[in-house]
Amino acid sequence: MIGKNYYNVTEWNVGNPYEDIGEVINSIIADIKSRQTKSDINEGGKSGAVIYIPSGDYHLTTQVVIDISYLRIVGSGHGFTSSSIRFNTPKSEWADWHEVWPGGSRILVDSSLKAGDEESAGAAFYVKRSGDPRISSVEFADFCIDGLHFLDDGSGENNPENTYVNGKTGIYVASAGDSFRITGMGIVYLEHGVTIYDADALAVHDNFIAECGNCIELRGSGQASKITDNLIGAGYKGYSIYAQNFGGLLITANNIFPRGASSVHFSGVVRSSITSNRFHSFYPGMLEFRDNCSENLIASNHFLRDHEPWPPMQKYDNGLDDLYGLLYISGNNNSVIANHISETIDTQYIRPSGTAPVIIHVVSGKGNYISNNHIVATTEASKVQDAADESCFSAQVGALLTIDKLEILEVTTVLVEKESYQNTVLDTGSEEQVVLDRSVNAFRATPTPGV
């Protein structure tokens, strides 16, 4: 039996969900608020509701505004497919494709920012409420938010679909919230996938958030939240995961693939964990700790940095050279333990030319503990790619599986700058590979076979 707090957008009596699902959902929220007016009835009251989006294409021109707790918006499938591959394939080939556009329960974000608009005006879903208590238990599950197209940003890019700029955001939470959940979503081709301020007990789990300018941004401050078991990959200008002034953030079991400017960027984050993830990047600066990040754990992750193999995207990068470090640490008492870090890159792509790439770069702070990290640095002779005819999938998988004919690449496994001291570096590089001041830092070299 379906209760009065269950709504189907295709059966609601206001608006047309296929032309503007925003108008329909806002009308449903207004109905919920008109019926649920008393907050304390028999130890109950405002129980919230479920809004169901069946499989189909739904245009959105009106921003959805959410200001009630206990609201679950749920669809019948995340429907993700790569828009980047589509827009870097000649249109003449689309006719032979089985599918061209994302599917599932798909929201097509047709809205756009006007001159002078705040960033939040470009959001498909905007969550904000003042007063006490904080808005709680808002859930987004199992549907697709598609930003459709990127725009010409004045950079001279021949293909505007590769700019990662369109002013659109999928989910924007502007006020403090408790126990939000984002699960099973497909979020694609938005300048900002998910932007959340002042999160508490947030769960971002089992989503496909990729080909966005930025994927997940936790801004303001927050605590006790998790980003787990997601497939994530931002554009070359932005963050795959960004967190600011956070404590108790758990980032685990994610597969974060290119082409984000960084895989994880922490600013002022403390006492948080990054464990058991797989990170893949085409640029230095895969993981960045800035603004006095302290007492964080980075453990049992797999990092891979190699060169972009797909010709349409080879001209882009994040602007960092190889002396920056794959892991960039600024802060105190962080632990970097038992990670596997692979760098496989042809020497012609190293910048500055002729230098030894830096793997772990400790820039400032004290008391950091770096131990038992296995660093594998290799290079292979340049080869001519059959580029134009190679699909994105074939190019990337081919590059990942290439392990023969590899030669050792000279790298600096750990570089500790003079501004950082009282650090401990154990078994993360040989005597020649680790650069630090031994008078103010503790060091034990990785044993070298045969020596």
Provide the pLDDT for residue 52.
98
The percentage of residues in the chain with a pLDDT greater than 70, rounded to a whole number, is 94
Checking if the pLDDT of 264 tops 60, the result is yes
Provide the pLDDT for residue 234.
98
Q: Strand ranges (DSSP E) for 121-213?
A: 123-127, 135-136, 139-141, 144-146, 169-173, 177-178, 181-183, 186-188, 192-200, 203-205, 208-212
Write out pLDDT tens, residues 363-381: 999 999 999 999 999 997 6
Write out pLDDT tens, residues 126-181: 999 999 999 999 999 999 999 999 999 998 888 999 999 999 999 999 999 999 99
DSSP letter assigned to residue 91: G
Q: Which residue has the higher pLDDT, 123 or 115?
A: 123
Contact 301, 278 (CB under 8 A): yes
CA 151 to chain centre: 21
Section 17-45 average pLDDT: 95
Provide the pLDDT for residue 1.
46
Mapped onto helix, strand or coil, the DSSP state of residue 58 is strand
Provide the pLDDT for residue 431.
96
Provide the pLDDT for residue 115.
82
Strand partners for 306: 344
Provide the pLDDT for residue 399.
66
Q: For the chain, first and last CA: distance in Å?
A: 74
Contact 297, 339 (CB under 8 A): no
Provide the pLDDT for residue 389.
56
Checking if the pLDDT of 186 tops 70, the result is yes
Tokens encoding 123: 């959001």
Distance CA 107, CA 148 (A): 10
Section 90-110 average pLDDT: 96
Checking if the pLDDT of 348 tops 90, the result is yes
Write out pLDDT tens, residues 404-432: 678 999 999 999 999 999 999 999 999 99
Checking if the pLDDT of 388 tops 60, the result is no
Strand partners for 239: 262
205, 199, 303: which is closest to 256 by C-alpha?
A: 303
Residue 3's pLDDT band, with cuts at 50, 70 and 90, is confident
Maximum separation of any 2 CA atoms in the chain, in Å: 79
Section 294-318 average pLDDT: 94
Q: What is the dihedral of CA 352, 354, 355, 357, to 10 degrees?
A: 90
The percentage of residues in the chain with a pLDDT greater than 90, rounded to a whole number, is 87
Provide the pLDDT for residue 401.
66
Provide the pLDDT for residue 450.
79
Residue type, 424: T
Distance CA 110, CA 20 (A): 9
- Cis amide bond preceding 133, omega within 30: yes
Provide the pLDDT for residue 449.
87
Provide the pLDDT for residue 291.
98
Checking if the pLDDT of 403 tops 90, the result is no
CA 47 to chain centre: 32
Write out pLDDT tens, residues 188-246: 999 999 999 999 999 999 999 999 999 999 999 999 999 999 999 999 999 999 999 99
Write out pLDDT tens, residues 46-94: 999 999 999 999 999 999 999 999 999 999 999 999 999 999 999 999 9
Provide the pLDDT for residue 383.
54
Output the pTM of the full model.
0.94
